[in-house]
Amino acid sequence: MSQIFWQAKIWGLLHDSPLKPLIVDKSGTGPWEYKSGTGPRECLTVMDGWQDKNDRITQADRIAAATDRAAFGALGKNWSEVDYSDELRHLLSSENLPFPLFEDNLLRQGRNQIEQAHQSIGKARWDDYTKEEKEQIKKLNRQERENIEKFIWDIIPQEIKESQDHQEVFWWLWRCLPEALSRHPNINDPRLLLIPSETRIPDCSIWSHSSMTAALAGSLMGYDGSNNSRPYIATFTFTPVQEIVKASRKMQDFWAGSWILHYLSASICLAWAEKYGPDSVVYPSLYDQPLIDDWIIRKYPHFKKLKDENQYESIQQIKQPNSRKLLTAGFPNVLVIVLPQSEVKSAMDLARRMLTGESPEIESPWMKLASQVKQEVFGNRPIAASVWEEWLKSQWQIYWTALPLGDINERLARPLQNTFEDWCNKQNSLANLSGERSLFKKKGEAHFFQDPKRGINKNGEFHLVNIGSWWAPIFDQVRTNLNAVKNARNWSLPTAFGLRSTVSGLGSVVREEAGNDWGHCDKDDESNPVNKFWGKQRGLFDGIEQLNATEVVKRGLKKVLPKLLSLSDSVATYPDLTVGVAGWLRQNPKLAVRYQQVCKDVVNEFDWTGEAAEDPWGIPWVDEDEDRKNWKHPRLLNAGWLIDDYLPTPTSESQPLTRKQKQRQIIDKTSKVRGFIAQPEYLPSDNPTNWYVLACGDGDDMGKWLQGTKMEKYGQYLPSGFPKQDPPKEEKKALEEFLKQTKRMGPATHAALSRALLDFSNQLVPYLTEQRYAGRLIYSGGDDVLAYTNLWEWDQWLWDIRQCFKGSPDPDKEFDDTGDYWRWKCEEKGSPPDNVSSRPLFTMGRNASISFGLVIAHHSVPLAIALENLWEAEKKGAKEHQSPNSHKKDAVQIRVLYGNGNILKATSKFDVFDQWRSLLNFKQTHSQVDFDPALFEQAAEVWQQHPAPVLENSPDCFAAIVPWTMAFCDRRELFKGEDKQTAKQDFQTALAKYLKAICQTTQPKERDREVQSWLKLAAFVLRKRDIRIGGIES
């Protein structure tokens, strides 16, 4: 590493003032120009020796802004440049977010003086100003800029200014400066993090643009400072993923598998960030990531003690992530980084070695974690290396690929002496673009950039088309190449000799080192040393199950997490498959007292259950409430899971129990517990722990969003004040044609999207899942969601998540959705909840969609089977759903897994699902009707026998649905009587509306089956939600 590599990155981070959009005169080159004669060298010790004028490095700014400033920098400032106009444009949907900012504070003082001076002069055009009047305005502009730049510089602590550690300075500027500015008493507005980098396309924040500029500047300078490097986009991934998560018997295993994958990806990202800078990691964004923040606080503990020139301390601090954030997985297993040309192979090799543990000089988080678990679980017992170290080192298959950003044999931007077409052809060839997909082939774009004179502004600076315009297609080509590499591999798990895992059937079970390393293969043989070994592993294991090394690491994770993350043992909790009871009690608070009494009676009857009763639930709605956290654990109500805590005991110490005797004791004890719980005074019929619910969601067509093909036209992203004046005639036509072109996803816009998605995954989804409802988030990263919910709230939660993803109205009216952002209604609701910012939070916007798979599984269904169905429901059910009008995805598939092996599948568009929800709520809104869930089963049966006919040649081919519903309701006894006619009419209308919607959006061959499935699902949900405990109804 060279000093100049980090200097280039620091320059990139501060090449523009962080508050540039709010400054009237935007001609400055960074906050170090707050007084005459100063520059990077004078302001930061680590910049000593830096050369300001480096044409190659300054290209980083234009490449990062290829879709924004590079395009509009070619326009004449005297007519095109607009002041910051108090509005933002959504990154994707282009919706307008009114953004009145910073009234009555330091940042408005200078602007107010300038505006007053213009009003006093009273002339509409700058060309009409006299020389003295222009000088008056320029002087006020300079004064405003200098005051704001000095304000910024005073916030930077003296220790950072004088530090000689380049990484320390960069980390502080990248992570702490935005927070320090937004929290300063003279600003005190978290919305500062959203201010745009370009006022003419106010969609991408200045912070994202500066971060990408820093990454490109370092890559252009080169890791060795050679100044002849090129940026490369590299992507890295490892597998298996779903197989690791799916090999789970308990929720503990499921959660641990997700978290370990998250932890390994985060560890690789951190290693890259320490070597190349956090800005270089494009996906996922490392800004405000809980695990990364935790590591920053540990490495730079003095950051929280730093003070600025005015001795403000608290504004400098990175907030310590709470335990819930640290325990929620969010890092993907596909990572993207921008690297200098010479470092691509080195960075990929570093990531590979971190997973395989093959190099002693490189710490492997995977092997280290496994070693810690091994010590905690087995102590000093000698475990066979062939089934531990050798298996774990071979666990991961690793893939990577990389491409340069732009043809490395061509210049970064189109040189004036070359033809426009020739240079573009070479860039298109690298990105595998041809025909209509080629960039700058369309008339509007080509004409706008074709004249070389348009590429030079009055200062002689170039604003030509550059390689940044090809960011999206090259990024997509890298992803395509990665898939090709993965598909070219023919990889399978090695053959396992001896006994295999009882959970997954894969891999040899862990055993002690012995003379015969393979052990005896008869799993029923009492003398088998492997059976003896696992028979003694009580506590984490049930004495019967036998796991491979990876599964042991998952099961034992909870033993090492407190030390790994500096958490207390009581905080590192996870849910099991019985805690869906939280949703039941949340929806039926009057049952809480009776529930507690039943649990106490179980403990009194079976004294070996006492320890399980006091376990945390792993559900924040319970564990984080002073009253509810003392509730007994719902495992007490489920004999099947409670029996894991029972230890069979021999009648005589001299005669230990055989394996079959242990199993017989367990079966007998399970029967007694089950019979006790099913007594009339407890839970004689349905049990609230009988069903568990898991959900998996994924944003639709994210690849197309990243390609930019789903973006709006350039003109949609312009602020209302553009242009400030009518363009010259020779410019106007070219500009109008250009604004009709689809906006591209450039480097800075892509970085902004990566960072903005953290609003959805790290703030909104956790709040909806764990605070609004009684669920637990397993994974939330980017556009992916994996969660544990419950039978009583899953439909409400699912709809809320979908609305949030699209930035649509909040069903609970806690968030304002203006501009496709969600903002907590502080005026009505008071301060936002913990971990939710008061600023507008990014959503994917109204043009985006998400598809979900959801499984409602009987407690007797193995978790591994439920997880397999969960992913199939999402990928093969919801993702493949297509309406007759060819509308794909934007759907949900529900699967009910019965204990007898039957499966009920129901699939529909999300909007139709919302109408189905309204049918479920009918009983709550019409209490005068003795509503019976059998009503929906009757409707399904009648539809099966006599479906409403489809009128093929009619303008309304589903017109027969209304008379069908009227006839159906007329024949139902529960609607008889004059006092129930309104209820009958309401139900008939709702049912007709729903049936018409599902028929219109379902393929003809699936139509009747889906109608019946959703009606059966409605009956099932309503019936299973109705739990009677000791005679008290839900």
Decide if 559 is inside a domain: no
What pLDDT score does 458 carry? Answer: 45
Compute the half-sphere exposure of residue 658: CA atoms within 13 Å on the CB side of its CA: 7
Domain ends where: 197, 227, 257? 227
pLDDT for the residue 662: 81
The DSSP annotation for 183-202 comes to HSTTT--GGGGG-BS-TTST
Do the Cβ atoms of 870 and 848 come closer than 8 Å?
no
Q: Please report, for residues 107, 152, 156, 189, the alpha-carbon distance to residue 309 in angstroms, rounded to integers and kept in the order given.
A: 18, 10, 8, 20
pLDDT digits over 774-809, tens only? Answer: 999 999 999 999 999 999 999 999 999 999 999 999
Total domain count, the chain: 3
Last residue of a domain, one of 638, 661, 688: 688
Asked whether residue 547 is domain-assigned, the answer is: no
Residue 214, in any domain of the structure: yes
End-of-domain residue from the set 205, 227, 249: 227
User: What DSSP assignment string belongs to 104-139?
Assistant: TSHHHHHHHHHHHHHHHH--S-GGGS-HHHHHHHHH
pLDDT at 398 over 80: yes
Contact 412, 406 (CB under 8 A): yes
Tens-digit pLDDT profile for residues 470-484:
999 999 999 999 999
Residues 6+ away with beta carbon under 8 Å from 797: 695, 768, 769, 772, 773, 775, 787, 789
DSSP state of 950: P
CB atoms within 10 A of CB 190: 15
Q: Around Cβ 723, how many Cβ atoms within 10 Å?
A: 17
What are phi and psi for residue 775, nearest 5 degrees?
A: -115, -170
Show the domain range for 171.
1-227
Identify the residue whose tokens are 């370009």: 198
* pLDDT for 495: 63
pLDDT in tens, 900-949: 999 999 999 999 999 999 999 888 888 777 888 999 999 999 999 999 99
Is residue 540 assigned to a domain?
no
Q: How many CB atoms lie within 10 A of CB 493?
A: 14
Output the CA–CA distances (angstroms, integers) from residue 123 to 118, 120, 133, in the order listed. 7, 9, 10
**Residue 111 located in a structural domain:** yes
Q: Is the pLDDT of residue 74 over 70?
A: no
In a domain, residue 1002? The reply is yes
- Rounded to 10 degrees, the C-alpha dihedral 839/822/279/271 comes to 110
Phi/psi zone of residue 566: left (φ > 0), alpha (ψ -120 to 50 degrees), beta?
left
Compute CA 116 distance to the chain's CA centroid, rounded to the nearest angstrom.
46
pTM exceeds 0.85 for this model: yes
Asked whether residue 104 is assigned to any structural domain, the reply reads: yes
Q: Is residue 490 in a domain?
A: no
Sheet holding 903-909, edge to edge: 776-781, 784-789, 691-699, 850-858, 891-897, 903-909
pLDDT at 449 over 70: no
Cα gap 834→857, rounded to integer Å = 32
| H or E segment to which residue 248 belongs | none
Calculate mean pLDDT across residues 837-862.
95
Mean pLDDT of 1001-1026: 96
Q: Would you say 281 and 269 are in contact if contact means Cβ atoms under 8 Å apart?
A: yes
What's the rounded Cα separation, in Å, for the pair 998 and 943? 14
pLDDT of 454 over the 60 cut? no
Residues 520, 527 contacting (CB under 8 angstroms)? yes
Contact yes or no for 780/770 (Cβ under 8 A): no
User: Is 781 or 87 the better-scoring residue by pLDDT?
Assistant: 781
User: How large a percentage of the chain has pLDDT more than 90?
Assistant: 53
Please, what's the largest Cα pairwise distance for the chain? 109
Cα 17 from Cα 25, distance rounded (Å)? 11
**Measured distance CA(696)–CA(602) in Å, rounded:** 34
Banded model confidence at residue 875, pLDDT cuts 50, 70, 90: very high
pLDDT, one tens digit per residue, over 276-320 is 999 999 999 999 999 999 999 999 988 877 776 666 665 667 888
Interval 371-384 mean pLDDT:
91
